[in-house]
A and B are shown apart, each in its own frame.
Chain A
Amino acid sequence: MLANVIPRLRALAFSAILIAFALPAFAGPFEDAVGKFANDDFSDTEDAIGLIANSGNPLAYPIISALQDGRLMADSDSKKVYVTGTDGKSIDAATGAAVASVPDSASAVRLNNRLRRTVEAALGGLTLQSPDLSTRLAAAQSVFKSHEEGALPAVEAALDKETNKTARQALSEARAAILLFKSDATDTEKLDAIATLKARGDQEALALLTGLGSDQPPAVASVAASAISSIQSTLAVWSMVQNAWYGLSLGSVLLLAAIGLAITFGVMGVINMAHGEMVMLGAYTTFVVQEAIRTRYPGLFDYSLLIAVPLAFLVAGAVGVLIERTIIRFLYGRALETLLATWGLSLVLQQAVRTIFGPTNREVGNPSWMSGAFDLGQMTITYNRLWILCFTLALFAILLAMLRFTALGLQMRAVTQNRRMAASMGIATSRVDALTFGLGSGIAGIAGVALSQIDNVSPNLGQSYIIDSFMVVVFGGVGNLWGTLVGAFTLGIANKFLEPVAGAVLGKIAILVLIILFIQKRPRGLFALKGRAVEA
């Protein structure tokens, strides 16, 4: 009936548990066992450890770990035993009830070396049977790594009681790891163990199998060899998948940075060297939003990015419209001059941000739903990368839909295709120019919100993306959003597949050289707009 209490317990911080769940006080086998500590006799103590470890009582772990640390106090007169917590609070070991103070007559239960080993084994077994799933998994994993023979009984005992599927899996893998190296294990046991490890199929299983000595019976050795090669090929496939994922992730970052540029450069033909600074403005908007939330409404922190996205769009978009109205509109048709003026603008914006926010990196936090990671097969996927990929694709879809289905999108496309004709049809081309530029800048601002999650928010944030984003747009083909999408993911994946071969820097150089050569072959990019212009 005491076992009924177990499911109600969630945390291991034991003093909290004990205060909250004071156990009914009556004498039973557990209480008797605890009482043996007070006899001050090594064999009684050993009996008590064995009884308590197998009792399944939630107090077992606190008591035995207290015993190990010398915090278990026994009063030989009253036969009472107390656990002194690390926080100074004490409880009655038999009942779990809090006590005001431990009597002066009580002294720490003594241990000798043999008992210490017993205590350690009991603790190992207890963590394997801990009520907390993650503790059990961690314990199983550590047994798996150490694969010491002594842990086998504990593992098998835990395996008998375990009901959780994941934990059973981990325990049977730990058992397999032990059996594989156990000198007196039968061949059948070893073959089973190899099969289990093969099914696990990761680097650690591979390491165990390759660490198997050459003195194995031929049957075991050949099965182990085939298991090794099978694991190696699985791992090779997974590393491909992992590279592809990294590539997609890098591609999504490139796409984010380039997508606004695809509008200003691709659709309008304006070389905006200050594009990176729009991204930076978006990132700093996120920073300001998070600061405001931290100081005023800490509870809203998880929503900070949702608040920052529209704000970043507005801030960067407004700056974009301002730039278009004051500088760029005077330079239409003079692409090279636009390039110089916007470069100057980028210097001004950087310096302005440096003056206001300081030259150092600003901290932008991850909301809880973007932190952490999960395992997929043999690879780990972090949530922030996954979210950024989804976010980028969603942004792309929205932009595409906007250009296709809204009136502004229609006007934009009309102005791009034939400015004079569009003007003749009554489209206010200069208004469309300003809005298009604002849209491109605003999108860059939104990109800044996302990039603030994975990059340093500093005044130089934008500069690090500008060359890459131009590469993406030029590679994909100017004036075509799909080209930008394909270009970004192609470059991202190519980069990540070159990296393990050539190293990060050489891989990047190789990509740049390839793009330079590619542009020679197709000067208009992957998806060139078809037209009849003699030169453009």
Chain B
Amino acid sequence: MTPHVLTRSLDRGATIFVLVVAACGVLIPLSNLLLPAGSLFQVPTYLVALWGKYVCYAILALSIDLIWGYCGILSLGHGAFFALGGYAMGMYLMRQIGARGVYGNPNLPDFMVFLNWQKLPWYWSGFDMFWFAALMVIVVPGLLAFCFGWFAFRSRVTGVYLSIITQAMTYALLLGFFRNDFGFGGNNGLTDFKDILGFNVQADGTRAALFALSCLGLIIAFLICRAVVTSKLGKVLIAIRDAESRTRFIGYRVESYKLFVFTLSACMAGVAGALYVPQVGIINPSEFAPGNSIEAVIWVAVGGRGTLAGAALGAIVVNYAKTFFTSGPLAPYWLFMLGALFILVTLLLPKGIVGTFSAWWGPFKERRLLAADAASAAREDGVSEPNPAE
């Protein structure tokens, strides 16, 4: 069965994507570790960490593309799942600090000592074990998404209403995690990490390994998404995206399909967050900010909605641009750029970079397929509402 799924999900574009990511995942860490510092081809450690961050964003973008590009669910709260996964990993890293904190308390993280807490809250128990934390990275966002989706999809909350309540969800979490008595470090979040699985998080080797792991995570997430969208399930998802009522009338339980893909996507976002935290070295409530989630959606739109590889590419391109602009003299103009990107992409480039590119340069057959796709994508919301432009 497995080879069958693999051959089905790996068409030429997908294979190229996997190979490129794999090559980066191998070559960049190797060049960082093996080549002498200062050599032309040596990738400095700070770049490895930075690119590692982009790769995590790419996984987040993939998870958004899976639900938005293939199922028409626009979540403006995916940053919440990302941050929850990050917090789960951050809690493990906090417990690894042990007695090396400023206050030297072997049982309590610094901020709890600071707040005069006497013992660890119950929900922190178990996070000293990596396997448990790793499980929570998937389970917590998945569970939240499952509960949220269970209510939302069953009562047929769709379209912008869903977007707005997902935004309310992440906003509520933002407010909550800012509180000190929530037990997650309040405003400052979790930081000052020392070890992960016994390796120093600051060490070059650990950073390179984390980068390679992130690339592996991206490949696995990509393959899972491909497997889902090329299966029969994926066809139903696209049907839901294009005509939800029709799909329901044909006899599919639309809410179950949506719930499955929404939960899967949240789990992926959680993993992305978990890979992100050790490389960035901090997780704080600002990751829950609604703006972050919306920004993640624009990565997908820039790269190309419903193309998977495009979403990952979009995340990397936009974030590279962000780093480039915000670190130079152009910093005050970054928000202009980002804002213009939002407007221009939606107005002029509705298919994103990858979508537009394949429409121009792809082989004739593929171009026809994409045209059909694009036509259905254009009807995406138009089906449900009378189109004023008509």
Partner-B contacts on A (CB < 8 A) = 269, 271, 273, 327, 329-341, 343-352, 354-355, 419-420, 429, 433, 463, 467, 470-471, 474, 505-506, 508-509, 512-513, 515-517, 519-521, 523, 534-536
Contacts and interface: CB of A to CB of B under 8 A. Distances in A.
Nearest to B157: A523
A346 B339 contact: yes
Nearest to B172: A512
A333 B382 contact: yes
B339 to A, nearest CB: 4
A341 B350 CA distance: 11
B30 interface: no
B325 to A, nearest CB: 12
Contact of B176 (A269, A354, A509): A509
Contact of B339 (A271, A332, A338, A347): A347
B244 A340 contact: no
A136 to B, nearest CB: 47
9 contacts: A271-B163, A333-B387, A336-B160, A339-B74, A343-B294, A348-B339, A505-B178, A521-B155, A536-B384
A467 B155 contact: no
Given A474-B164, A515-B168, A523-B156, A337 B346 contact: yes
Nearest to A525: B161
Most buried by B among A327, A338, A344, A521: A344
Contact of A345 (B291, B339, B350, B390): B339
Interface string B378-389: 101110111111
Contacts of A513: 172
Contacts of A327: 343, 347
Q: Is the interface of A mostly helix, strand, loop or mixed?
A: helix
A517 B385 CA distance: 25
A419 B385 CA distance: 11
Contacts of A474: 161, 164-165
B353 interface: no
A109 B179 CA distance: 62
A520 B386 contact: no
B372 interface: no
A509 B176 CA distance: 7
Contact of B387 (A332, A341, A523): A332
Given A331-B347, A354-B332, 9 more contacts: A271-B160, A327-B343, A340-B294, A347-B338, A351-B336, A513-B172, A516-B172, A519-B155, A520-B152
B124 interface: no
Contact of B151 (A419, A433, A520, A535): A520
Interface in B333-390: 333, 335-336, 338-343, 345-347, 350, 378, 380-382, 384-390
Given A341-B346, A520-B155, A419 B298 contact: no
A516 B381 contact: no
Nearest to A474: B164
A348 B386 contact: no
Given A343-B294, A348-B336, A536-B384, A332 B389 contact: yes
B245 interface: yes
Give me the 8 closest cross-chain CB pairs, A-B, nearest first.
Answer: A344-B342, A348-B339, A347-B339, A333-B387, A351-B335, A332-B388, A512-B172, A344-B339
B290 interface: yes
B187 interface: no
B335 A350 contact: yes
Nearest to B73: A336
B297 interface: yes
Interface of B: 74, 76, 148, 151-152, 154-161, 163-165, 167-169, 171-172, 175-176, 178-179, 244-245, 290-291, 294, 297-298, 301, 332-333, 335-336, 338-343, 345-347, 350, 378, 380-382, 384-390
Given A343-B294, A520-B152, A334 B380 contact: yes
A334 B336 contact: no
Nearest to B155: A520
B388 A429 contact: yes
A333 B155 contact: no
Nearest to A433: B388
A335 B342 contact: no
Contacts of A354: 332, 335
Given A505-B179, A509-B175, A341 B347 contact: yes
B2 to A, nearest CB: 36
A516 B149 CA distance: 11
Contact of A351 (B159, B294, B339): B339
Contacts of B346: 331, 334, 337-338, 340-341, 344
Contacts of A334: 346, 378, 380-382
A336 B168 contact: no
A340 B168 contact: no
Contact of A419 (B160, B178, B386): B386
Contacts of A330: 347, 389
Contacts of B290: 467
A222 to B, nearest CB: 43
Given A333-B385, A467-B171, A516 B165 contact: yes
Given A335-B385, A336-B159, A337-B346, A535 B244 contact: yes
Contact of A340 (B172, B291, B342): B342
A344 B245 CA distance: 31
Nearest to A504: B175
B305 to A, nearest CB: 10
A520 B157 CA distance: 7
A339 B382 contact: no
Nearest to B379: A333
B245 A467 contact: no
B145 to A, nearest CB: 13
Contact of B388 (A333, A339, A519, A521): A333
A467 B166 CA distance: 11
Contacts of A523: 155-157, 161
Contact of B161 (A347, A349, A467, A519): A519
Contacts of B336: 347-348, 351-352
A338 B301 CA distance: 12
B155 A534 contact: no
Nearest to B151: A520
Contacts of B382: 333-334
Contact of A355 (B332, B345, B347): B332
Contacts of B178: 505
A47 to B, nearest CB: 63
Nearest to B294: A343
Contact of B245 (A352, A433, A505, A534): A534
A344 B262 CA distance: 25
A18 B178 CA distance: 60
Contacts of B176: 505-506, 509
Most buried by A among B167, B168, B179, B294: B168
Given A348-B336, A535-B245, A336 B163 contact: yes
B173 to A, nearest CB: 8
A523 B155 CA distance: 7
Contacts of A506: 176, 179
B15 to A, nearest CB: 31
Nearest to A330: B347
A350 B380 CA distance: 31
A419 B172 contact: no
Given A348-B339, A509-B172, A335 B160 contact: yes
A340 B378 CA distance: 15
